Amino acid sequence: MSSHVTPKKTYFAVFGTLMALTALTVAAATVDLGGLNTVVALAIAGCKAGVVIWFFMEVRHARPMTRLTVAAGILWLVIMLILLSSDYISRGWLGRSQGW
Amino acid sequence: MNAALAPPPSAPPPAETPTHYLNANYGFRSWMFTLDHKRIALLYLASITLFFFIGGFYAVMLRLELVTPAGDLMSAENYNKSFTMHGVMMVFFFLIPSIPAVLGNFLIPLMIGARDLAFPRLNLLSWYIYMAGGMLTLYAMVAGGVDTGWTMYTPYSTTYSNSHVMVMAVGIFINGFSSILTGLNFIVTIHKMRAPGLTWFRLPLFVWAHYATSVIQVLGTPVIAITILLVALERGFGFGFFDPKLGGDPILFQHLFWFYSHPAVYIMILPSMGVVSELVTCFSRKKVFGYKFIAMSSVAIAVFGFLVWGHHMFVSGQSIYAGMIFSFLSFLVGIPSAIKVFNWTATMYKGSISYHTPMLYVFGFIGLFTIGGLTGLIVANLGLDVHLHDTYFIVAHFHYIMVGGAVMGYLGGIHFWWPKITGRLYPEGWARFSALVLFVGFNLTFFPQFLVGYLGMPRRYHAYPEEFQVFNVMSSAGASILGLGYLIPMIYLTWSWRYGKLAPPNPWGAKGLEWTTPSPPTTFNFEETPVVTEEAYAYAQEQETEESH
Ligand SMILES: [Cu+2]
């Protein structure tokens, strides 16, 4: 349907980027950043997902409705992560639970 | 496409029965490979009815066991397996597909003036996927059962249970795709295939409700599918997602599970609300009150429904601060639900109401859903829930929503559109009688469970202290009446399919494009694409002429 043909060069570039980011993940895993460990790992993973969505899934040439649909999916993921972290961040605030 | 399908010649002999989607062609293949949304709806109707009665069989066993305080009919283990199967069958294989896959599939193209859904092949595929998932789950049942409850909480499901968790997990995982495909199909169809003149705010509210439901299905179902996959990976291969020994967090499972499974409640109830909106205007002979508010409250429920899942986890070890947020957000969902109830009531106000069977189900729905919704506010209380969590109060609460709400709406819709689906009228007297039996049986079954739960009877045990027996006997007696209330429609609807009076195209004098087609409709629904020139539910004109007398 899409009349646009992506040159092979783009795909190779994207693939290279993904491999580089994977290497970065491995490298980051060897360094202890304390509380930032998870944040860094998730940030790199987020970049990779973004590249896949934008280039491989052709969202950059998609029509507004398709983009809106993709955005809704991402928004829902963000909702999940934010409310999840509301638990994980505050779980220790009361100290160790003594049970009900 | 359908070579066997003979297009009606220019002038068919008038004495013969006209060609419609049921007699267009015959034989096993014509059903198994059909691309007609109406036939696929009937495939779903037959299969969800099967799963409903399997789930119902387990409910009967549970209620029989609970007649006496001692665990005498079943071992604790078999009891656990029975409530698991009851839950899994009813939630995943009956309630979630019920209205969307049967009535939605049948009606959405008819209501928007289209010849079929946007992706007929995907539609058929979704039924096959559903059957594959269902068969696998049935296999898990026959092979020895699963004892985790339908919620499959970790670490029990991943580490300790010795039952067939894997098989059932795969079954539910597969079934999820059927739900996603149905949702996707509806979204595209509603966006792309509306008849000329049918603007978004002229759509029947049934279609709005299904649009909102589809959004939940598409955005939520992948999460449960992946979560179940994680359980399988941990159980089978020792990945550490949920087991603390492996660095996981068991509560994470509950988060992911309820991220889908709370919105899934709205997958069950929103289509039912859509049915009620159609029925209440037709049998009040009045334009629906606050059309836009009802339409938008469906969308609001779909969105807010995703923000409240933590109310299932107040006593799980979840942070108390997160619990406060979830408790507050849960109260907010009451607003769009209440808007609907108020608007239906306002629609009936000064309407000329007739008491046909579908309308009886509407009354049942509104009353029972309100009880279910208000008790939902009670259990959304952070403090009160500590007392009520995992008691029969919860069981009563969600059965008021799912049976009192979703199933009442489903049966109301089945009766309302039965003449359109089959071309036959059902026997009105029997139908009214069984609606009454259902209402009485339902309340006798579940109202005592509020009381016994409040008194402290925990759910999911096969034995209980003697002082709770009187409530349980009431509940079991009610269940037998309820069971009768399901069997009677089963019998007379089947009977009417063959022997019922022939139905005219529009037996209720209802508005809506589906009633402009013959009963039953032809394979491609409309000879010519209809053009819509008026608002939905334009019953007002009749009303004005009546008032002018
Ligand atoms: Cu919930």
Task: Band the pLDDT of B329: cuts 50, 70, 90.
Answer: very high
Q: For chain A, what percent of residues have pLDDT higher than 70?
A: 91
Chain B environment of A84 (Cβ under 8 Å): 252, 255
Does the pLDDT at position B543 exceed 80? no
Its domain, for residue B450, covers 37-544
Q: What is the ipTM of this complex?
A: 0.84
Task: Flag whether the pTM goes above 0.90.
Answer: yes
pLDDT at A6: 79
Q: How confident is the model at residue A96 (pLDDT cuts 50, 70, 90)?
A: low
Contact criterion met (CB < 8 Å) for A100 and B315: yes
Residue environment code for B500-534, b if the CB has 16+ CB neighbours within 10 A, otherwise e: beebeebbbebbbbbbebbbbbbbebbeeebebee
d(CA B296, CA B201): 10
**Residues A33 and A72 both lie in one domain:** no
Same domain, A27 and A8: yes
Please name the member of B220, B310, B315 whose beta carbon is closest to the beta carbon of A87. B310
Domain membership of residue B190 (yes or no) is: yes
Quote the pLDDT of residue B163.
85
Asked if A57 and A71 sit in the same domain, the reply is: no
Q: Is B20 helix (H, G, I), strand (E, B) or coil?
A: coil
Q: At what angle do helices B37-65 and B105-112 cross, to 10 degrees?
A: 140
Give domain status of residue B32, yes or no.
no
B214-256 pLDDT per residue, tens: 999 999 999 999 999 999 999 989 898 999 888 899 999 999 9
Same domain, A34 and A10: yes
Q: Are residues A6 and A39 in the same domain?
A: yes
Per-residue pLDDT at B541: 53
Share of chain B above pLDDT 90, in %: 87
Chain A hits for B386, CB-CB cut-off 8 Å, are: 100
Mean pLDDT of B109-117: 96
pLDDT at B155: 87
pLDDT number for residue A35: 78
**In which domain, by residue range, is A94 found?**
63-100
pLDDT of residue B548 exceeding 50, the answer is: no
Give the closest of A72, A83, A100 to B307, CB-based: A83
Model confidence at B1: pLDDT above 80: no
For residue B386, the tally of other CB atoms under 10 A from its CB is: 11
C-alpha distance across the termini of chain B, in Å? 54
CA distance B17 to B10: 15
Instruction: Give the nearest partner residue to A100 out of B259, B309, B386, using CB atoms.
Output: B386
Categorise residue B536: left if φ over 0, alpha if ψ from -120 to 50, beta otherwise.
beta
- A15 and A52 in one domain? yes
**Whether pLDDT at B506 is above 60:** yes
- Looking at the predicted structure, is the pLDDT value of residue B13 above 80? no
- For residue A1, the model assigns a pLDDT of 46
A45 with A69, same domain: the answer is: no
- Is residue A2 domain-shared with residue A38, that is, in the same domain? yes
* Residue that is written with structure tokens 């992948």 in the block: B222
Of B525, B494, B495, B496, the residue nearest B512 (C-alpha): B525
Q: What percent of chain A has pLDDT over 90?
A: 50
Minimal C-alpha gap between A21 and chain B (Å): 24
pLDDT tens readout for residues A33-86: 887 888 898 899 999 999 999 988 888 888 998 899 899 999 999 999 999 999
Q: With b meaning 16 or more CB within 10 Å and e meaning fewer, what string describes B157-172?
A: bbeebebbbebbbbbb
A90 → closest Cβ in B223, B251, B321: B321
CA of B216 to the centre of ligand 1 (A): 14
In the DSSP assignment, the letter for residue B515 is: G
Domain membership flag for residue B203 = yes
Looking at the structure, do residues A18 and A46 belong to the same domain, yes or no?
yes
Measured between its terminal Cα atoms, the distance across chain A in Å is: 60
Asked if B404 and B365 touch (Cβ cutoff 8 Å), the reply is: yes
pLDDT value of position B5: 46
> Over 60: is that where the pLDDT of B441 sits?
yes
Taking any CB pair shorter than 8 Å as contact, residues of chain B touching chain A are 191, 215, 219-220, 223, 251-252, 255, 259, 306-307, 309-310, 315, 317-322, 325-326, 386
CA distance A100 to chain B (A): 8
Match 């296999």 to its residue by tokens. Answer: B139
Q: Please spell the DSSP secondary structure of B184-224, one letter per residue.
A: HHHHHHHHH-PPTT--GGGS-HHHHHHHHHHHHHHHHHHHH
Q: Is the pLDDT of residue B298 over 70?
A: yes
Confidence of residue A99 (pLDDT cuts 50, 70, 90): low
Number of domains in chain A: 2
- For residue B312, the CA-to-ligand 1 centroid distance in Å is 6
Q: What is the CATH number of the domain that holds B295?
A: 1.20.210.10
Could you read off the pLDDT of B33-42 as tens digits, one per residue? 999 999 999 9
CA distance A64 to chain B (A): 14
* Chain-chain contact of B223 with A79 (C-beta, under 8 angstroms): no
Please give the Cα distance from B108 to B214 (Å, whole number).
12
pLDDT at B4: 45
Q: If you average pLDDT over residues B114-139, what whole number do you get?
A: 96
Specify if B510 maps to a domain: yes
Q: Does pLDDT of B6 surpass 80?
A: no
Arithmetic mean of pLDDT over chain B: 92
**Model pLDDT, residue A37:** 84
Among B73-77, B145-149, B414-418, B538-542, name the one with the lowest average pLDDT: B538-542
A95 lies in the same domain as A74: yes
The answer to whether the Cβ–Cβ distance between B319 and A93 falls below 8 Å is yes
Of B215, B325, B386, the CB nearest to A86: B325
User: In whole angstroms, what is the distance from residue B519 CA to residue B525 CA?
Assistant: 10
Q: Are the beta carbons of B356 and B509 closer than 8 angstroms?
A: no
Q: pLDDT class for B16, splitting at 50, 70, 90?
A: low
- Note the pLDDT of residue B407: 96
Mean per-residue pLDDT for B519-537?
A: 91
Better-predicted residue by pLDDT, A1 or A45: A45
A36 and A73, same domain (yes or no): no
Does B67 map to a domain?
A: yes
Residues A33, A75, single domain; the answer is no
Q: Is 60 exceeded by the pLDDT of residue B397?
A: yes
Query: CB–CB of A90 and B326 under 8 A?
Result: no
Q: Using CA atoms, how far apart are residues B52 and B483, in angstroms rounded to an integer?
A: 11
Predicted local distance difference test score (pLDDT) of residue A38? 83
Give the best residue of B306, B315, B319, B388 to mutate against chain A (max A CB count within 10 A). Answer: B319
